[in-house]
Amino acid sequence: MERIALAKGHEIVVTIDNEQEWNERLDLLKKADVAIEFSQPNQAFTNINRCFDLHLPIVVGTTAWYDHLDEVKQRCLKESQSLFYAPNFSIGMNMVFMMNKQLARFAEQYGYSMTVAETHHIHKLDKPSGTAAKLANDIIAESSRYEYWSINEPYPAEALPIEVTREGEVFGIHSVTAQSNADRITLTHEAFSREGLAQGALAAAQFLIGKTGVFTMDELMG
């Protein structure tokens, strides 16, 4: 992230990685135009509120904190704050999100069954990934067959399967499969590095400056 930001001509006024640095570097953070938050699920909610306390626009790439999303949105709108959040900032992955919605509509119309699969490095804490959960939720929104998603076999008939794999240092592979008796359709996105996430997050940060409200990649990508 830092390398790409500097290459694009941005200035990084401060980085904060732990509680001590929050206390020591708060004055530097106040000089920023926007904060980019990639931390841990149990820290994201606190970090968002800290930025709101400073009235500092924030881009959030951490996932698995969305049980607080309604609360965060309410505060953001009530106080005219600025929030941009996304389960995945990769432009390529967001293209797949769009294609997935269209595939889900046709799958519903023509009776295809669907599954989601994701593979990540062994250090990833959340299961499934926020990206896989979004893919699944978008399918469910178009489906009369699936009521919820599940990562646990055996899968009930009303559950959309998400197959989760943790191995090696894989940056991220997400696939959606639609299958009938006649054929199989697969959408796959494979990240070769974290560069795509960094580029998307920087684009979101530039987009957010001067705006108030709650935004996602849908707004950024039109």
pLDDT at 63: 87
> Catalytic residue among 68, 120, 127, 189, which?
120
Residue 2 CB coordination number (10 Å): 10
Question: Which stretches in the chain have pLDDT values below 70?
Answer: none
pLDDT of residue 129: 93
Multiple choice CATH, 2-89+195-220, 3.40.50.720, 3.30.565.10, 3.40.50.300, 3.40.190.10: 3.40.50.720
pLDDT at position 57: 98
Q: Domains of the chain: which residue ranges?
A: 2-89+195-220, 91-190
211 is catalytic: no
Residue in 10, 73, 101, 124 annotated catalytic: 124
Please tell me the predicted confidence (pLDDT) of residue 126: 87
120 carries an active-site annotation? yes
Report in angstroms the alpha-carbon separations of 164 from 16, 117, 143, 167, 173: 31, 6, 22, 10, 10
CATH of domain 91-190: 3.30.360.10
65-107 pLDDT, tens digit per residue, is: 999 999 999 999 999 999 999 999 999 999 999 999 999 999 9
- Please give the helix or strand (H or E) that residue 87 lies within, else none: none
